[in-house]
């Protein structure tokens, strides 16, 4: 038993390094996508302190809108712009209808409000575009298809081109966000709000405006995640469970840290795939759903605010 | 006019601290119990009892469990569904091994199993706080859900992979299983809920409940005042899981009656119960009943009420509309009354006291 848990999996890894590389690669790709969702969470949490449960469904909604518009005969590039516009409208609507009346309420109330928002977006999306799964328009958007094969370590590693594209696009987007935060006027305002709402207000930063911007940014992140994830499988409301996958990433990296979301995403992605592949068969498989939480919990026991989260200081 | 305390003098400390200090309150609760125990079973149709009343009581019990840990102790838990599942499966195993023992005893006893599991998953709460803890409790949810599916011993190796509720008799009356009438099941569940509400009220008004609230308000301060955090937090988790476990067992054995319920304990259930607690009022027992009633009744009205008044809805569209409306209502209620229906109830009582001359 102990041999099966502690030694055998590593023997397997050593015996077939190409499989190990393949598993790690798949973990990294999944991790990038988790990281993207977590990034949307972090953006909103930093700027408004709202734990946005609806981020997962925003991913689906953005993907659905894009595909749905294309199916109605809109060219792909126009559909992309229109979807960005829809996410903007959504951000404004959320700010106006949900956030503004609930300002200064306890965190849990805002959290539940985003839970209600999840329901509304599900209903709205199904109402407009129908509930059946859809094919992502990867070709029309110019995303590469097919696979690449590498012969390394005495075996073959198969890599989907779309995964490489996802990793590249994700890196570009994160870099762009970092630049945006660091060097633009709005980015500075966002950082100010993240540091202290009151101080930001007192120097004349409009919180309402910032919230719209940050929800819009999260919407764009959601759109990109939706495209990438949709191209790997298909666009359906089943995808909303990936929001639950992103939660351990969040607690691992810390709610307030963008680098944390990325590192956390990669750790969770790789850890989860390795555990499923090497240890899963011991207990009958299907452990992907909870092993991420266990990894995150293990980290939390050491650092209760996540790897990169702000230190929690409590005063009596 | 009618709700006034004039002339009711409280001569002792215990009279002042009573749960129902006013005569009108005591009369009111007696009337409610009378309605629940006599009028509803005799005048309500079977449909009403089994579709509205039984689920309402089950959800109220589960909401009470979650309220103990979230509302009174301030630890957000998203594992309610799983803890209910532990209760249901424990009850199933117990009654399989000891079929002769009355099922009611096993329904209550199954709470102890889920209390033990809850205490284990409550351990991280000592170090982790706030939303970090909420996400950590999701670990319990997913792990236990996985166990329910992957460990065939739990469901007796049934081909269906779900709990198949056997028929159990007490004094020759079938309590569970396909032969039990809605009225018997209703009485059993009502008895359990009344008993457990009474117990919860006493615990929460006593020393234990006060230490819970001290931890909720600020755990460092509570620790400085000599409350042991480890014991208090774990006790809160255990007590909460006990209630959830009993709710899960009653849900499976007295409401669903087995079959078709393999996803009864999933993450959505946890969220819905959390929402019942919030909409009812955090840290309020009566709020649990309000929240359960509201959240259980709305979908039923949408499902049966809209076709009845002639709004034609196809199955899928109705489903989408249901999502939209429930989501909208959640946000609406949060905006209108973020402190829950219990607060609304208090305000109403205060208004009634001074009515019709509010000066």
Closest CA to B298 of B342, B331, B329: B329
pTM of the entire predicted model: 0.88
Note whether residue B52 is domain-resident: yes
Note whether residue A114 is domain-resident: yes
Share of chain B above pLDDT 70, in %: 93
In chain B, which among 16-55 make CB contacts under 8 A with chain A? none
What is the token pair recorded at A169? 């696009």
Note whether residue B15 is domain-resident: no
Give B282's contacts in chain A (Cβ within 8 Å).
Answer: 108
Q: Is the dihedral of CA B98, B101, B104, B110 positive or negative?
A: negative
Query: pLDDT at residue B260 above 60?
Result: no
Query: pLDDT at residue A241 above 80?
Result: no
Closest CA to B203 of B343, B64, B77: B64
Tokens 């234990």 locate to: B208
Note whether residue B16 is domain-resident: no
Count of domains observed in chain B:
1
Note whether residue B9 is domain-resident: no
B328, B334, B336, best to mutate vs chain A, most A CBs in 10 Å: B334
Q: Do B132 and A126 touch (CB under 8 A)?
A: no
Closest in B132, B320, B327 to A117, CB measured: B327
Among A218-232, A237-251, B213-227, which range has the highest average pLDDT? B213-227
The residues, any chain, with a CB within 8 Å of residue B235's CB and separated by 6 or more, are B208
Say if residue A9 is exposed, middle or buried (CB neighbours under 10 Å; 0-12, 13-18, 19+).
middle
Q: Do B136 and A283 touch (CB under 8 A)?
A: no
Chain A contact for B127 (CB, 8 A cutoff)? yes
Chain B contact for A120 (CB, 8 A cutoff)? yes
φ/ψ of A159, rounded to 5, equals -125, 130
**Residue A235 β-bridge partners:** A134
**Residue A151 β-bridge partners:** A156
Query: pLDDT at residue B117 above 90?
Result: yes
What's the rounded Cα separation, in Å, for the pair B99 and B102? 8
Mean confidence (pLDDT) of chain B: 85
Q: Where in the sequence is the domain holding A154, given as residue range(s)?
A: 2-302
Chain A contact for B120 (CB, 8 A cutoff)? no
In Å, how far is A98's CA from the nearest CA of chain B? 7
Say if residue B328 is exposed, middle or buried (CB neighbours under 10 Å; 0-12, 13-18, 19+).
middle
- Counting one residue from chain A and one from chain B, the pairs whose CB atoms sit within 8 A come to 136
DSSP B168-237: EEETTEEEESTT--HHHHHHHHHHHHHHHHHHHHHHHHSHHHHHHHHHHH-HHHHHHTT--HHHHHHHHH
Q: Searching chain B, which residue's CA lies closest to the CA of residue A101?
A: B335
Chain B contact for A126 (CB, 8 A cutoff)? yes
What is the token pair recorded at A162? 């779309």
CATH of the domain at A135: 1.10.3470
Closest in A123, A251, A255 to B136, CB measured: A251
**How long is chain A?**
316
ipTM of the prediction: 0.83
Chain A contact for B128 (CB, 8 A cutoff)? yes
Chain A contact for B229 (CB, 8 A cutoff)? no
Cα-based distances in Å from A154 to A16, A17, A19:
9, 8, 10
Query: pLDDT at residue B259 above 60?
Result: no
Give the Cβ contact number of residue A302 at 10 Å: 8
Say if residue B85 is exposed, middle or buried (CB neighbours under 10 Å; 0-12, 13-18, 19+).
buried
Q: Cβ distance B240 to B118 under 8 Å?
A: yes
| pLDDT given for residue A140 in this prediction | 67
Tokens 């499988």 locate to: A233
φ/ψ of A301, rounded to 5, equals -60, -30
Q: Cβ distance A215 to A90 under 8 Å?
A: yes
Q: Where in the sequence is the domain holding B303, given as residue range(s)?
A: 21-354
What's the rounded Cα separation, in Å, for the pair B197 and B60? 10
Give the Cβ contact number of residue A138 at 10 Å: 18
pLDDT tens digits, one per residue of B127-144: 888 888 888 888 888 888
Q: Do B267 and A244 touch (CB under 8 A)?
A: yes
Q: Cβ distance A257 to A242 under 8 Å?
A: no
Q: Do B145 and A289 touch (CB under 8 A)?
A: yes
Q: Cβ distance A50 to A111 under 8 Å?
A: yes
What's the rounded Cα separation, in Å, for the pair B192 and B186? 10
pLDDT tens digits, one per residue of A59-73: 888 888 888 888 887
Note whether residue A315 is domain-resident: no
| pLDDT given for residue B211 in this prediction | 94
Mean confidence (pLDDT) of chain A: 82
Query: pLDDT at residue B302 above 80?
Result: no
pLDDT tens digits, one per residue of A6-34: 777 777 777 777 778 888 888 888 888 88
Q: Searching chain B, which residue's CA lies closest to the CA of residue A45?
A: B131
Q: Do A122 and B323 touch (CB under 8 A)?
A: yes
Confidence of residue A192 (pLDDT cuts 50, 70, 90): confident
Note whether residue A312 is domain-resident: no
Count of domains observed in chain A:
1
Chain A contact for B314 (CB, 8 A cutoff)? no
Q: Do A107 and B328 touch (CB under 8 A)?
A: no
Cα-based distances in Å from B197 to A46, B132, B268:
40, 30, 25
Q: Searching chain B, which residue's CA lies closest to the CA of residue A52?
A: B131
Q: Cβ distance B150 to A283 under 8 Å?
A: yes
Counting runs of H as helices and runs of E as strands, what totals does chain B give?
A: 17, 2
Note whether residue A307 is domain-resident: no
Q: Give the pLDDT mean for A286-300.
A: 82
CATH of the domain at B231: 1.10.3470
**Which DSSP symbol is given to A53?**
T
Tell me which of A10-14, B83-87, B91-95 is least confident. Answer: A10-14
Closest in A119, A248, A297 to B327, CB measured: A119
Note whether residue B88 is domain-resident: yes
| pLDDT given for residue B148 in this prediction | 85
A304, A311, A315, best to mutate vs chain B, most B CBs in 10 Å: A304
Q: Give the pLDDT mean for A160-183.
A: 84
Say if residue B12 is exposed, middle or buried (CB neighbours under 10 Å; 0-12, 13-18, 19+).
exposed
Q: Cβ distance A39 to A222 under 8 Å?
A: no
Q: What is the dihedral of CA A47, A53, A59, A60, to 10 degrees?
A: -160
Give A121's contacts in chain B (Cβ within 8 Å).
Answer: 327
Chain A contact for B322 (CB, 8 A cutoff)? yes
């Amino acid at each position: 038993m102990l041999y099966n848990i502690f030694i055998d999996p590593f023997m397997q890894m050593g015996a077939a390094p190409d499989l190990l590389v393949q598993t790690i690669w798949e973990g990294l790709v999944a991790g990038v996508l988790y990281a993207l969702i977590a990034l949307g969470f972090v953006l909103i949490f930093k700027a408004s302190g709202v734990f946005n449960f609806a981020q997962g469904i925003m991913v689906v909604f953005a993907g659905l809108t894009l595909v749905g518009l294309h199916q109605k005969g809109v060219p792909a590039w126009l559909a992309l712009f229109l979807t960005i516009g829809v996410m903007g409208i959504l951000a404004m609507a959320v700010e106006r209808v949900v956030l503004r009346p609930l300002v200064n309420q306890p965190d849990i109330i805002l959290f539940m409000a985003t839970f209600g928002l999840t329901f509304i977006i599900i209903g709205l999306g199904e109402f407009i575009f129908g509930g059946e799964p859809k094919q992502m328009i990867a070709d029309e958007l110019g995303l590469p298809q097919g696979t690449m094969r590498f012969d390394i370590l005495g075996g073959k590693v198969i890599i989907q081109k779309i995964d490489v594209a996802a990793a590249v696009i994700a890196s570009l987007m994160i870099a762009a966000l970092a630049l945006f935060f660091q060097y633009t006027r709005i980015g500075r305002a966002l950082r100010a709000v993240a540091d202290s709402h009151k101080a930001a207000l007192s120097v004349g930063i409009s919180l309402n405006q910032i919230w719209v911007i940050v929800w819009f940014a999260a919407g764009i992140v959601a759109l990109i995640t939706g495209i990438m994830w949709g191209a790997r499988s298909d666009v359906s409301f089943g995808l909303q469970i990936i929001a639950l996958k992103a939660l351990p990433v969040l607690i691992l990296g810390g709610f307030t840290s963008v680098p944390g979301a990325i590192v956390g995403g990669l750790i969770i992605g790789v850890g989860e795939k390795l555990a499923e592949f090497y240890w899963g068969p011991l207990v009958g498989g299907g452990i992907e759903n909870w092993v991420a939480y266990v990894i995150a919990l293990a980290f939390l026991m050491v650092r209760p605010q996540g790897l990169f989260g702000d230190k929690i200081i409590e005063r009596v | 006019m009618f709700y006034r305390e004039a002339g009711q003098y409280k001569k002792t400390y215990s009279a002042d601290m009573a749960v129902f200090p006013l005569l009108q309150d005591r009369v009111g609760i007696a009337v409610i119990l009378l309605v629940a125990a006599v009028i509803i079973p005799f005048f309500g149709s079977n449909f009403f009892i089994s579709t509205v009343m039984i689920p309402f009581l089950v959800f109220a019990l589960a909401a009470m469990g979650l309220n103990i840990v979230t509302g009174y102790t301030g630890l957000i838990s998203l594992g309610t569904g799983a803890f209910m599942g532990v209760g249901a499966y424990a009850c199933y195993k117990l009654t399989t091994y000891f079929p002769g023992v009355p099922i009611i005893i096993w329904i209550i006893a199954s709470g102890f199993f889920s209390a033990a599991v809850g205490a284990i998953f409550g351990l991280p709460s000592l170090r982790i706080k706030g939303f970090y803890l909420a996400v950590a409790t999701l670990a319990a949810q997913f792990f236990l859900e996985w166990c329910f599916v992957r460990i065939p011993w739990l469901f007796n190796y049934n081909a269906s992979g779900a709990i198949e509720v056997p028929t159990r008799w007490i004094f020759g009356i079938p309590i569970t299983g396909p032969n039990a009438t809605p009225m018997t099941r209703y009485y059993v569940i009502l008895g359990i809920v009344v008993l457990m509400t009474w117990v919860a009220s006493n615990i929460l008004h006593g020393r234990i409940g006060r230490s819970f609230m001290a931890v909720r308000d600020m755990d460092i301060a509570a620790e400085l005042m000599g409350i042991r955090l480890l014991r208090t937090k774990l006790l809160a988790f255990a007590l909460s899981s006990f209630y959830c476990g009993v709710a899960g067992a009653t849900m499976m054995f007295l409401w669903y009656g087995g079959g078709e319920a393999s996803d009864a304990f999933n993450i959505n259930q946890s969220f819905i119960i959390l929402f019942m607690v919030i909409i009812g009022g955090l840290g309020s027992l009566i709020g649990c009943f309000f929240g359960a009633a509201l959240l259980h009744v709305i979908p039923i009205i949408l499902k049966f009420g809209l076709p009845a008044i002639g709004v034609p809805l196809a199955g899928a569209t109705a489903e989408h509309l249901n999502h939209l409306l429930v989501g909208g209502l959640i946000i609406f209620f949060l905006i209108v009354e973020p402190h829950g229906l219990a607060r609304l109830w208090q305000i109403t009582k205060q208004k009634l006291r001074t009515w019709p001359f509010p000066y």
